[in-house]
Copies of this chain bind each other. A is one copy, B any other.
Amino acid sequence: MNTIILTGDRPSGSLHIGHYVGSLKDRVKLQEKGEMFVLIADIQAMTDNFDNPKLLKESSYEVLLDYLSVGINPMKSNIFLQSEIPELYELFTYFLNLISIHKLQHNPTIKTELNQKNFKTGLPLGFLAYPISQASDILAFKPTYVPVGADQIPVIEVTNDIVNKFNSIYAAEVFEKINPQLSDCPKLVGTDGLKKMSKSLGNAIYLKDSPDTIIRKIRKMRSDPEHIYIENPGKLEGNTVFEYLDIFYHDKENLLKLKNHYTKGGLSDGKIKDILAETLIEYLRPIRERREKLQKDRSYLNSVLRNGRERAREVTSKTLSEVRNAIGLASSQE
């Protein structure tokens, strides 16, 4: 059996270094191990951004640029827009009959998200149904490898409920249970040092950030708030600057020296922030340079999406025929 890898992101902004260390870097390696499908989940993003479609359009291209800049290779991986795969809408419609409202309303991930959101005119059906949309995205590709974050596990359970129900109601073996692969990549804390890096918390450094922006964000980064005088010892625990250096600074020997100096006293927070800024600027330079070059070429970007779409539809239309055969609706094509 071929290895099929399914990953993707909701386009609700461009991607940050938290995405990079937590998943993108891993995908660049994964694309060597099988056929990878990378979904820009604009239809899912609509479920809580339906009143802000401009954001979705811009973000779809931002996310695509991020993918290409970090090294997801369109000659190896299929990058496509969810909204451009008609088969996904149809699968979604069939799957809607298999899951109860009660079950979704009691799903832990959905419950958490509902507490964070504020739908002004009541909870729209589309939002409650997003795990079913996600299930369609996953199952359409029959992937053998689905890397996910721990917070997404309950949503994957909805996918497996659908697998069980579909196969049993339609006496078919169209789908197999999905075993999501929990990422062992580090979760990057935000520049505030308090929470996971996230756009909505305003604590993110983006892959596209300019050197100036990086310097500015790192100057405000949490280090050791009690380290007022340079000559005093500084603390490493809870020191976000050193957390980042652990990840991005390559000369581990020199890093140890810096840590010793800092904890003994005599190394200023300004100095370690300068070192981190320089490190990150260098780390992101090739990504930023590729991004700047690619972003001028919308017609190339669209050709990447068109190729991805074509291959994605080859796979999803095959799954859809199996689904239609299993259900056995009338067909004028017979």
Q: Which of A89, A94, A102, A332 gathers most chain B CB within 10 Å?
A: A332
B129 and A125: CB pair below 8 A? yes
Mark out the residues of chain A between 26 and 44 whose CB falls within 8 Å of any chain B CB in the assembled complex.
40, 42-43
In the complex with contacts A53-B170, A84-B331, A328-B53, A46-B122 CB distance below 8 A:
no
List of B residues within 8 angstroms of A119 by Cβ: 100
Could you say which of B50, B90, B101, B333 contacts A128, with CB atoms under 8 Å apart? B101
A126 interfacial contact with B, CB 8 Å: yes
A interface residues, how many (CB within 8 angstroms) = 61
B125 and A83: CB pair below 8 A? no
Shortest CB distance A270–B (Å): 42
B327 and A53: CB pair below 8 A? yes
A155 interfacial contact with B, CB 8 Å: no
Mark out the residues of chain A between 288 and 334 whose CB falls within 8 Å of any chain B CB in the assembled complex.
298, 302-303, 305-306, 309, 327-334
Q: Which of A104, A123, A129 gathers most chain B CB within 10 Å?
A: A129
Residues 70-111 of A, flagged 1 when their CB comes within 8 A of B and 0 if not, give 000000000011011010011011101111111110000000
Closest to A96 in B: B126
Residues 38-64 of A, flagged 1 when their CB comes within 8 A of B and 0 if not, give 001011001100110110110011000
Cα–Cα distance between A333 and B301 once the two chains are bound (Å):
11
A169 interfacial contact with B, CB 8 Å: yes
Q: Report A's interface with B, CB cutoff 8 A.
A: 11, 40, 42-43, 46-47, 50-51, 53-54, 56-57, 60-61, 80-81, 83-84, 86, 89-90, 92-94, 96-104, 119, 121-129, 132-133, 169-170, 298, 302-303, 305-306, 309, 327-334
| Given A125-B128, A309-B332, 8 further pairs, Cβ under 8 A | A54-B328, A56-B329, A60-B329, A93-B126, A100-B122, A101-B123, A101-B124, A303-B332
Interface pairs (10), CB distance under 8 Å: A11-B330, A51-B169, A56-B330, A83-B330, A89-B89, A97-B127, A100-B119, A101-B122, A102-B122, A125-B128
